[in-house]
Amino acid sequence: MQSCLIVDPAPVIRKVASRILFQMGLTVEGVASGDEAKAWVAANGLPEIAIVAASAEDPAGVELVRHLRAEAEGRPTVILASIVESNLGLMTRLRRAGVTDYIYKPFDRSALEGWLTPFVQAAGTSAESASASAA
């Protein structure tokens, strides 16, 4: 089963997203901060998909994306930035840090599933390829 880490300071976002992602077949963990996310990754390993809240006012999201991308060490890890608005400066910093794509808050079930479905399939294909090549 694929794993997903949700990093967002808002408990309601973590709860709603966790339920939707669980129903999509993912194992989901939610944490409130970048420090908690780093501790979770150190203890559990890098998830196949990470959703990181980011804002123009707080550089922590960009820093976490950079950290997760470095931890991936070339493995095909999907890192999605969860943002409130299309801010070109923030989106550019996130892209340079290694984000795969963006999702927009607030979201509903259909929007979140629409954004994530291609990445869930891609992460599953990559994980299966890695297992097959290791065997």
Q: What is the pLDDT of residues 18-68, one digit of tens each?
A: 999 999 999 999 999 999 999 999 999 999 999 999 999 989 999 999 999
Q: What is the pLDDT of residues 82-124, one digit of tens each?
A: 999 999 999 999 999 999 999 999 999 999 999 899 888 665 5
Of 51, 119, 55, 41, whose CA–CA distance to 93 is shortest? 55
- Cα Rg of the chain (Å, integer): 14
Position 83 scores a pLDDT of 96
Q: What is the pLDDT of residues 29-39, one digit of tens each?
A: 999 999 999 99
Position 134 scores a pLDDT of 39
Domains in the chain, start-ordered, CATH in brackets? 3-120 (3.40.50.2300)
